[in-house]
């Protein structure tokens, strides 16, 4: 691949972005996304993505819950679906814990699904807990919803989103992380997220969501 970008050369990066937008040269391949580009260049096993979306800087080799977040997010390796990096970075939850983490993650995810229904910014996540959300919903709609009622709504949204993705061609295998997160340790910590740990997280997540062991659920 005869294309060079030197470190710190913002003008060269800008040039590549122009080539991508114009689908010119190498930009034509990159414009099709990481999945197609990595296959085109024979680098599929090197590409870092889930469901075609590259992750942000929250590394699942350190923040194990973010591995689950990236895997189960319906739009790919998105850090904003659950923002689960917050409780792990702040040590509200031990980043290395695997056992029981899926249930903790789901409660966090459910609350932010309710955020989405209210079109709230993610950064209100510390301010608006379940009690505050209940008060807001009652003030706006008159509905008197407790935590259990809101979580039931969030679960329904999560289930319908999963059904849509499965119907449109995604599969439970698309919940897996890139191989490199399992095989390449971070130099600073020598940590990986093992395949066994990821499978456990997914299995516990599927079970807590009421899906089967393969991440599938019944049609409505």
- 84 and 156 fall within a common domain: yes
Residue 216 lies in a domain: no
Name beta bridge partners: 50: 53
Task: Specify whether 196 is located in the same domain as 162.
Answer: yes
Same-domain status, 112 and 16: no
103 CB neighbour count, 10 Å cutoff:
13
pLDDT tens, per residue, the chain with 220 residues: 678 889 999 999 999 999 999 999 999 999 999 999 999 999 999 999 999 999 999 999 999 999 999 999 999 999 999 999 999 999 999 999 999 999 999 999 999 999 999 999 999 999 999 999 999 999 999 999 999 999 999 999 999 999 999 999 999 999 999 999 999 999 999 999 999 999 999 999 999 999 999 999 988 7
pTM as predicted: 0.92
Mark whether 97 and 200 lie in a shared domain: yes
Residue 176 and residue 81 share a domain = yes
Backbone angles phi, psi at 204, to 5 degrees: -70, -35
Tell me how far apart the alpha carbons of residues 186 and 6 are, in angstroms, rounded to a whole number.
24
- Whether 214 maps to a domain, the answer reads no
CB 63 within 8 A of CB 177: no
Whether residue 53 lies inside any domain: the answer is yes
53 shares a domain with 129:
yes
> Three-state secondary structure along the chain?
CCCCCCCCCHHHHHHHHHHHHHCCCHHHHHCCCHHHHHHHCCCCCCCCCECCECCCCCCCCCCHHHHHHHHHCCCCCCCCCCCCHHHHHCCCCCCCCCCCHHHHHHHHHHHHHHHHHHCCCHHHCCCCCHHHHHHHHHHHHCCCCCHHHHHHHHHHHHHHHHHHHHHCCCCHHHHCCCHHHHHCCCCCCCCCCCHHHHHHHHHHHHHHHCCCCCCCCCCC
On whether both 63 and 165 belong to a single domain, the answer is yes
Question: Does residue 36 fall inside a structural domain?
Answer: no
d(CA 54, CA 152): 30
Residues 95 and 198 placed together within one structural domain of the fold: yes
Dihedral sign from CA coordinates of 35, 116, 175, 183: positive
- Say if 219 falls within a structural domain: no
Please give the pLDDT value at position 131.
98
Same domain, 20 and 123: no
How is residue 97 written in tokens? 């814990």
Q: How many domains, in total, are found in the chain? A: 2
Q: Tell me the HSE value of 149 on the side-chain side, using a 13 A CA sphere.
A: 9
CATH at residue 137: 1.10.599.10
The reply to whether 139 and 193 lie within a common domain is yes
Which residues partner with 53 through β-bridges?
Answer: 50
Note whether 46 and 19 are same-domain residues.
Answer: no
Q: Give me the domain span that covers residue 121.
A: 42-209
């Amino acid at each position: 691949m005869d294309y060079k970008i030197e470190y710190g050369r913002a003008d060269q990066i800008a040039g590549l972005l122009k080539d991508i937008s114009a689908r010119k040269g190498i930009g034509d391949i990159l414009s099709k996304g990481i999945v197609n580009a990595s296959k085109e260049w024979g680098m599929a096993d090197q590409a870092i993505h889930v469901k075609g979306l590259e992750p942000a800087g929250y590394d699942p080799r350190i923040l194990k819950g973010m591995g689950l977040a990236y895997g189960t997010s319906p739009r790919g390796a998105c850090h904003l679906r659950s923002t689960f990096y917050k409780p792990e970075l702040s040590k509200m939850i031990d980043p290395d814990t695997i056992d029981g983490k899926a249930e903790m993650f789901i409660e966090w995810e459910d609350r932010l699904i309710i955020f989405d229904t209210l079109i709230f910014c993610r950064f209100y996540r510390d301010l608006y807990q379940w009690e505050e959300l209940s008060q807001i919903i009652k003030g706006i709609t008159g509905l008197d919803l407790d935590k259990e009622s809101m979580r039931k709504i969030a679960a329904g949204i999560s289930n319908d989103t999963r059904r849509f993705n499965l119907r449109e061609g995604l599969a439970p295998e698309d919940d897996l992380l890139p191989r490199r997160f399992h095989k390449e340790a971070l130099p600073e910590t020598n940590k990986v997220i093992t395949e066994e740990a990821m499978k456990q997280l997914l299995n516990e997540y599927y079970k807590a969501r009421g899906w089967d062991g393969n991440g599938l659920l019944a049609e409505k």
